[in-house]
Structure 1
Amino acid sequence: MSKYLLNKFLFTVDRDPELVERYRADPRGTVEWWEDTYANRILGCHAGESSTWLGFDEAEREALGSHDYPRLFEMGAHPFLTLTLFIAMFERDHPPMGFQTEYARRVAHVQLPYPDIAT
């Protein structure tokens, strides 16, 4: 498992409104496309700079592909990154502060100390 890659996915998708909508509409397809296209790009470098070894494991693919943000939190994805991305995708489906309340309810089972979010 790579918390770095999980957080990189959340970070890059959240910063592109078209990717947010793509991920909302087709999560599994977006995860597969992103992994093939962006996973090995080095952040801050041009497209020609890349590595070759990064990829999601099956548990990560499943959690990302099913929008399972409680599982992502349990896996150590950064809670701020999960919250901001999922707010962008699902806030419109809830009353004001409704999604934030739902997020808190669904991750309430995670007790202190929270999962390690260091990458």
Structure 2
Amino acid sequence: MSKYLLDKFLFTVDRDPELVERYREQPRATVEWWEAEYAGRLLGCHGGERSTWPRFDVVEREALATHDYPRLFELGAHPFLTLTLFIAMFERDYDEPLGFQHEYARRLAHHSLPYPDIST
């Protein structure tokens, strides 16, 4: 398991509006494409350097592919990264203000301190 790779996925997808929409509409295909194309790219490196080791495990890949943000939280994905990406994808589906944020809080309410470790 790699919390770093989960956070890297959330971070890079959230910063590209086209990827946000792609992930919303085709989550499994987007996760597979991102893993093949971006997982090995080094953040902040512009020279084309790549690493060959980063891969999601089965549980991480499935949580991402099914938009299972409670499971991502349990796996240690950073909650701010998860929340901002999923707000971008799903806030529009709620009629009331902060609708998705309330849903997010409701679905994570069963967790108590200490929360999962989010250090990478």
TM class, shorter-length: over 0.9
**In the superposition, relative to structure 1, how do residues 114 and 51 fare at CA in structure 2: closer, same or farther (>3 Å)?**
same
When the two chains are superposed, the root-mean-square deviation of aligned CA atoms in Å is: 0.7
Q: Which sections of structure 2, spanning at least 5 residues, go unmatched?
A: none
2:114 is aligned to 113
CA distance in 1, matches of 2:23, 2:32: 11
1:20 is aligned to 20
Tell me if 1:60 matches 2:60. yes
CA distance in 1, matches of 2:47, 2:112: 40
In the alignment, residue 12 of structure 2 is paired with which amino acid? T
What percentage of aligned pairs have identical amino acids?
79
Offset of residue 73 of structure 1: 0.3
TM-score (ref. length: structure 2): 0.97
Q: Secondary structure at the match of 2:13?
A: helix
Q: Which sections of structure 1, spanning at least 5 residues, go unmatched?
A: none
TM-score (ref. length: structure 1): 0.98
2:99 is aligned to 98
2:33 is aligned to 33
1:50 is aligned to 50
**In the superposition, relative to structure 1, how do residues 47 and 21 fare at CA in structure 2: closer, same or farther (>3 Å)?**
farther
Instruction: Give aligned pairs, total.
Output: 119
